[in-house]
Amino acid sequence: MRNLILTAIVLLTAITTYAQEGVKFGVQGGIPFGDFNNRVSVVLGANVGYAYALGETIDLGLSIGYIHGLEETFQENLAAGASDVQFLPLAGSFRIWPSNSFSFGGEVGQAIGINDGNDGGLYYRPQLGYMMGPRTEVNLSYTGIELDESSWATVTFGIRYTLPVFKEGF
| 170 in a structural domain | no
Q: State the CATH number of the domain containing residue 46.
A: 2.40.160.20
| 169 in a structural domain | no
Residues near 160 by beta carbon (within 8 Å), at least 6 away in sequence = 24, 25, 26, 129, 136, 137, 138, 139
- pLDDT for 15 equals 46
| 167 in a structural domain | no
Cα(21)–Cα(35) distance, integer angstroms: 39
The residue-averaged pLDDT of 30-52 equals: 92
| 107 in a structural domain | yes
pLDDT band at 19 (very low <50, low <70, confident <90, very high): very low
For residue 146, what are the domain limits? 2-162
Closest CA to 103 of 141, 145, 67: 141
pTM: 0.81
Give the count of domains, the chain.
1
| 22 in a structural domain | yes
Query: pLDDT (tens digit, 9 = 90+) per residue, 69-119?
Result: 998 765 454 445 557 899 999 999 999 999 989 999 999 999 999 988 889
| 168 in a structural domain | no
